[in-house]
Structure 1
Amino acid sequence: MSTSSRRSTPSRRSSHPAESSIEEFANRPLADIPEEIFKLRELSTSLRRRNDELNDTNHVSMRHNCQLAETNVRLATTVARQDAALQAQKSSRPALSLPHELLMIIFRYALPPPYQHDPSVAVGPRNSWLESIRTKKACALVCRGWTAPAAEVLYQDVVFRRMGQICALADTFRAANSFQTPGRALSGLVRSIRMDSCVVWAPCAKVVREDLELVLRQCTRLRSFSFHPHPSFPVFTWPSILRSDWGFNPSWVLDPTPGAVGGLLVERLVTGLQSLDLDLRVPLSESSFGSMMFMLSNAAHLTSLTLRRVSHLSVSKRELFPHIVLPQLTKLRIHLGHEVLSEYVSTRWQMPKLTSLMMVGCPIVPMTFLRAQGTKLTYLHFDDGWTDGTAVRLLYGANLLPRLHELCPVLEHLVLRITEGDYPALYVISPTLRYLDIISGTWFTIEQYRTLGLAPNSVVPNLQNVRLVMMPESTPYFPQICHPSLLLPNGTGPFTDFSHVPLPPDDDATSDGESTSDEEHAGNQDAAKKNEADSLEFTTGGIVYDFPLARLRQKSWLVTHDPQLDGYPRFLPASHPLLDDSEPDYVPSNEATASQDEASEDDSCSESDLSSGEEESDLEMDISNTDGPYDRDTVLRMFRAGLDSDYLFD
């Protein structure tokens, strides 16, 4: 038993040849030799298999090592080349290459703010809008690095002032579609489209309408659309009742047919249009009014809406029109000259986020409208002048001002139009009101400002400023631009202190008795000081703003036209150059510093300029003498020929 156990122990140890010694093999019986040989052969086979695997792995590793070595060599070469290029750039000091986003910010700050320019043709050739267009085009031509961001700024705001511009932009989109770059990439830059006094001639109407549809179809990222008709031409949907040589303002935006201008505008409202400005100086029928309301019923993203004057509105069944919900609308400017429209907006519209409201053409204060829409208003602007003092007291004093805390519980800025000379003591109850502006179209004086006052029982604990404001018609929201918080009165109250300015002489007191020469002299001195104080307030200090048709100067108590900047005759000497009635010849901005020799060269070219003008007049005669309709190539040819002689587009 002990012998077998001693023999079994070496047998178990034989399974580990590396641990066995020669003595152990010598003491083992011969019967174990075959078993050991079999195990050794299995082990040898396993080792050979493992050796083959290691050889394969070694070959793969060597191949990878060679590839890494080649990559390392190429990387070293690239690093050396890049380092050499950087060293060359440092030595040559080239112009800095700015990121696209930073260039966009620079270009936007290089242009005037939107309130400073008006693209209307009524402004004339010397306006900041044309200057900004020239600046945009110049930025795009500086270098290739600036082309892309400058083109984005150039195409961001599109204004159609002539029908040929619509066809030209559509032609640009078509040309881009025929190349590698898709036309939608260019049309995707357009964010705003404005049709301003864009008259369409009857023979060209079909082509212009098709091209306008193409533009709206491709500008899928449009955020703003405005339509301002020309006041001297009628507004029609289609010129079927016009002679072929007549022009008209197209009201195609009222056609909700899918694929038409109005239908495409509805698509843009659905996809993200945020600002809509419509001025339809045309009698609206029930169907046209319904089309407009259908359009607004799809305006889920609209944040700013302007509905200007409607000449006539004939609607009999208001209940048939849709219930309008504008969930994102914050700014509304609306002409409420029609009772039907006022009642419809008051009862069938929902604007839960409305904070800024400007109402025009209201015969009375629309109390129903304010009850329905005034709960979140912070800015309220009445652009109606009730000149009769009794009307002011009844409309403002009894209905509106004492009930501001009920109608507009969070109101901060109130703008009223009162055109009478002596302003009544306003009875206002509004715990949240901070700024009160009284606007008019006439000049103000310190003497008039002194007549302002609040009734003793007024409750306005947070009122900080009361101003007189002379409002330019071109910028309706200018009280928010010339914000009263920028310049507040120096004292503790909302009124500016003018106690240092002498009061005007009392005419009744001087007429009762005979005044001495000294009294007359003193009265004349006081009047001179008062006029001098007015002149200084109008022409010095404060903040100056450039608007399309005026320059305004903001003071703590006044916002008015600057007579020295605008050329108003008041306070200016007779010899002042601004009083010269002669109209200077138009000189483009790039030729303002031309020498006399250059001027003579321009005179020598007058015949060619005259011939180009004759060609344009011939084209206009062709329009008047031909029934049409014209094809697209003819319309484009006439538009491009007109550009050569139109001083508005130099």
Structure 2
Amino acid sequence: MATTPREWLQSNGVDLSSGYSSNLQSALLVDTLKESNSALKDANAALKDLVSSLQSERDLLIDKNNKLVAQLARRLNPNEAANADRENRLSQLDLSKLPQEIVLRICLAAIPDKYQHDYSFAAGPRSPWFKWLNTRTALTLVCRAWNGPASEALYTDITFRRAGQIPALARTFRASAVVNAPNRARYVKRIYMDWCTVMSHCEKIVRDDLMYLLQHCTALKSFALRPHPVMWASHNPDAPIIRHRPHYTSNPQWLLSKEGNPAYGIALASQCGAGLQELAFVGPLISPQSLNLFCLLQGAVHLKTLIFGAVEFPNVQIGSSQPPTPAQVALPRLEELQLFLHNDMPRLHNYICGAWHLPVLKRLTLSGCNFFPADILAKHGEMLEYLHLRFVPSTSSPWRDQRPEFGFSRIRRCCPHIQHLVVPFLPAYNLLCTIDSPTLRYLDMWGGRHKRRVVELMCELGRASELPSLRSVRILPSALAHILPQDVPLICHPTDVSDDEVRMRTFPAARVLQTSWALLTDCGMDWGVAFLDDEMCDDDSDGSNYEPEEQGANENGDGDDEDEDDGTSWVSDSEAGDLASDDDTALSSEEESGMEYDREAVLQRYAQSQQEDFLFDDDTDGEESEELHVDIRARTDI
């Protein structure tokens, strides 16, 4: 029960009857009340501090609980959590404000490795390579800030599949120079001519424009040419296209020649001397062309990679007792060499051994090599780290070396730094006990059908004999030797997979499973025959929505409209339609009469062909099918 102040004073013996005592009592009461109020304030402040500390502890517990919940969610469903985090970061990202260097790296990352896709017409207009090209073109349209880096990525890698692309690209570069636009020619790093036949009626224009491109692409680092297999050269009169159209006989191998006026080979020779690092001629070269190639290599001091196919060595000329002598070749920076060398090519073999100087050669691939090239290795194998003898022995083409064990036992002296060796599987010889190399780490063999445990025992046998550094032995599928690229052992490097890891590798005509002990054909692809992706095999698609691209240099028509050039299109649909309707008769008559086209006619013909769906007529059979890959239609020859 509460006590009043009067009662409290009376209980303490205070007399309240007098006035003095009354004032004193009031003063005491005030002091007592002040002390009580101060005590209550202190207690209230202490309670506030306690509440504040409890709230802080509560917030910490809530944060900790949220983190534990997030960790538990990641463990239960890691993909969903990662996607959520990625979407959150992307939602806060402004692509238009990215640095140009980062955008360029993004665009360059969209370019797949060159071994993944088939560039030829045989793959059709809806091939994966065509889809990839569309992606590169679309990157230039993302936003204004992306146009510059995306254009650089678009022009970095140029592939010519049709002769009309060459004048189209040259027209683009000429137009940009006139209007003071960015010089796109300086973006070009690689030019690849794949099955690009140059017909005689447009040969001069294409030659001049190709020479123009080689002169103005000052940053060019790689040039490759793969002639059409049906039209290697005009000296082959049995080719189907030559039988039916004798004036269609030109392949762009004249770019090797330094003779004539103008000398078209001078432009390529200038590139070799200016900084070209990779040069490839995938196809046979007849005698004059091989001489021109060897002369071209004299000035290729910057070359790091050289690839060429079968070479016809110069023969004895009329009126001379000796064949022409090729020039001495010194390539001080060459690190990789790929060539075709058979045992019936002794003159080429002796020429490479005696007249070539390759001081830093690290990777050597000899296709069709059915013998051990001891002389070449003795001359150029001092710095060699990778040796590939690409040959699959058979009854029709056996291994010609009578004593291969003698040659392989000399690897220690010929190649003191060898690390990766690729050879044919020779069951008559125990190569694991024959090869003598303390530095060899990886051994691949074409052919053989061994189980994993047998291959692992081979590796143990090699380490127990003369291969102390051997880490792995692999079996390569001989059935796919003609399909897979020459450098497939390097593409599927042994270090890319661990002991039990399996990695899928995609090539133009096969899918390969890479394991630590073998390269296996994907069982789902019918032993590596040509395949189509899921979108191309869709039964609901009738192919009616295909629209040909309009980039000239990249099969899309890289050229320019004379009024306005965005760098990705050189003729509109309406222009091409007018050209096709107005000039169809004139161009056809010129073709049949064998007349030469001028530059405008070549561009018009190419624009017309871009508006037509190609490639194959389903009802073509018999002899007509032989020329299907070359002369598909009259409108696709440029």
Which bin holds the TM-score, normalised by the shorter protein?
0.5 to 0.7
Q: Name the counterpart of 2:308.
A: 307
Q: Name the counterpart of 2:286.
A: 283
String of CA shifts for 1:25-55, please: whole Å, max 9, x gaps: xxxxxxxxxxxxxxxxxxxxxxxxxxxxxxx
Cα contact 2:189–2:222 (8 A) shared by 1: yes
String of CA shifts for 1:313-345, please: whole Å, max 9, x gaps: 526857833221101100100112321111111
Kindly state the Cα deviation for residue 289 of structure 1 after the two structures are TM-superposed: 3.1
Counterpart residue identity of residue 308, structure 1: G
Question: Which of 397, 405, 415 is matched with 1:398 structurally?
Answer: 405
Cα contact 2:96–2:145 (8 A) shared by 1: no
Q: Name the counterpart of 1:208.
A: 206
Please give the root-mean-square deviation of Cα atoms over the aligned residues, in Å. 4.0
Equivalent residues in 2 for 1:557-636, closer than 5 Å: 557-564=517-524, 566-568=525-527, 586=543, 621-622=588-589, 624-636=591-603
SS of the counterpart of 1:176? Answer: helix
Q: Name the counterpart of 2:21.
A: none
Equivalent residues in 2 for 1:265-284, closer than 5 Å: 265-284=268-287
Kindly state the Cα deviation for residue 487 of structure 1 after the two structures are TM-superposed: 2.7
Q: Name the counterpart of 2:446.
A: 439
Q: Name the counterpart of 1:336.
A: 341
Kindly state the Cα deviation for residue 181 of structure 1 after the two structures are TM-superposed: 2.4
Q: Name the counterpart of 1:640.
A: 607
Kindly state the Cα deviation for residue 615 of structure 1 after the two structures are TM-superposed: 9.9
SS of the counterpart of 1:297? Answer: helix
Equivalent residues in 2 for 1:319-330, closer than 5 Å: 320-330=325-335
Equivalent residues in 2 for 1:183-582, closer than 5 Å: 185-236=183-234, 245-257=247-259, 260-285=263-288, 288-310=289-311, 313-314=314-315, 317=322, 320-337=325-342, 338-387=345-394, 397-418=404-425, 426-440=433-447, 449=455, 452=458, 454=461, 458-470=465-477, 471=480, 473-489=483-499, 542-564=502-524, 566-568=525-527
Equivalent residues in 2 for 1:95-106, closer than 5 Å: 95-106=95-106
Q: Is 1:152 paired with 2:152?
A: yes
Call closer, same or farther: CA 1:299–1:569 in 2, change over 3 Å: closer
Cα contact 1:365–1:399 (8 A) shared by 2: no
Q: Name the counterpart of 1:515.
A: none
Q: Within 2, Cα distance between the matches of 1:636 and 1:474?
A: 36
Deviates more, 1:117-126 or 1:461-470: 117-126
Equivalent residues in 2 for 1:135-150, closer than 5 Å: 135-150=135-150
Call closer, same or farther: CA 1:235–1:448 in 2, change over 3 Å: farther
Query: Which consecutive residues of structure 2, in runs of 5 or more, have no partner in the other structure?
Result: 1-91, 549-575, 616-635
Q: Within 2, Cα distance between the matches of 1:367 and 1:152?
A: 45
SS of the counterpart of 2:166? Answer: helix
Q: Name the counterpart of 2:26.
A: none
Call closer, same or farther: CA 1:636–1:370 in 2, change over 3 Å: same
Equivalent residues in 2 for 1:82-101, closer than 5 Å: 95-101=95-101
Q: Within 1, Cα distance between the matches of 2:418 and 2:497?
A: 20
Call closer, same or farther: CA 1:542–1:321 in 2, change over 3 Å: same
Cα contact 1:227–1:279 (8 A) shared by 2: yes
Q: Within 2, Cα distance between the matches of 1:272 and 1:294?
A: 17
Counterpart residue identity of residue 197, structure 1: W
String of CA shifts for 1:237-270, please: whole Å, max 9, x gaps: 999x996642421221221148532110000011
Cα contact 2:371–2:400 (8 A) shared by 1: no
Cα contact 2:120–2:195 (8 A) shared by 1: yes
Counterpart residue identity of residue 490, structure 2: Q
Call closer, same or farther: CA 1:482–1:419 in 2, change over 3 Å: same
Counterpart residue identity of residue 280, structure 2: D
Counterpart residue identity of residue 214, structure 2: L
String of CA shifts for 1:403-457, please: whole Å, max 9, x gaps: 11111111000001237699876522110000000123x8765597589575798
- Pair member with larger Rg: 1
Counterpart residue identity of residue 111, structure 1: I
Q: Within 2, Cα distance between the matches of 1:451 and 1:395?
A: 27
Call closer, same or farther: CA 1:544–1:614 in 2, change over 3 Å: farther
String of CA shifts for 1:582-614, please: whole Å, max 9, x gaps: 9985466899xxxxxxxxxxxxxxxxx999999
TM-score by length of 2: 0.67
Query: Which consecutive residues of structure 1, in runs of 5 or more, have no partner in the other structure?
Result: 1-91, 491-540, 571-576, 592-608
Q: Within 2, Cα distance between the matches of 1:228 and 1:330?
A: 22
Kindly state the Cα deviation for residue 474 of structure 1 after the two structures are TM-superposed: 4.2
Q: Name the counterpart of 1:501.
A: none
Kindly state the Cα deviation for residue 391 of structure 1 after the two structures are TM-superposed: 6.7
Q: Within 2, Cα distance between the matches of 1:436 and 1:133?
A: 37
SS of the counterpart of 1:433? Answer: coil
Counterpart residue identity of residue 207, structure 1: I
Cα contact 2:96–2:146 (8 A) shared by 1: no
SS of the counterpart of 1:306? Answer: strand
SS of the counterpart of 1:289? Answer: helix
Call closer, same or farther: CA 1:568–1:349 in 2, change over 3 Å: closer
Call closer, same or farther: CA 1:284–1:95 in 2, change over 3 Å: closer
Q: Quick one: higher RCO (CA 8 Å, sep 6+), 1 or 2?
A: 2
SS of the counterpart of 1:320? Answer: coil
Counterpart residue identity of residue 628, structure 1: M
Q: Within 1, Cα distance between the matches of 2:609 and 2:512?
A: 36
Kindly state the Cα deviation for residue 373 of structure 1 after the two structures are TM-superposed: 0.5
Q: Name the counterpart of 1:108.
A: 108
Percent identity over the alignment is: 31
SS of the counterpart of 1:252? Answer: helix
Q: Within 2, Cα distance between the matches of 1:390 and 1:96?
A: 60
Equivalent residues in 2 for 1:156-175, closer than 5 Å: 156-175=156-175
Counterpart residue identity of residue 121, structure 1: F
Kindly state the Cα deviation for residue 125 of structure 1 after the two structures are TM-superposed: 3.2
Kindly state the Cα deviation for residue 109 of structure 1 after the two structures are TM-superposed: 1.8
TM-score by length of 1: 0.65
Cα contact 1:161–1:195 (8 A) shared by 2: yes
Kindly state the Cα deviation for residue 209 of structure 1 after the two structures are TM-superposed: 1.0
Call closer, same or farther: CA 1:619–1:435 in 2, change over 3 Å: farther
Q: Within 2, Cα distance between the matches of 1:423 and 1:249?
A: 46
Kindly state the Cα deviation for residue 220 of structure 1 after the two structures are TM-superposed: 1.6
Cα contact 1:388–1:420 (8 A) shared by 2: no
Counterpart residue identity of residue 550, structure 1: A
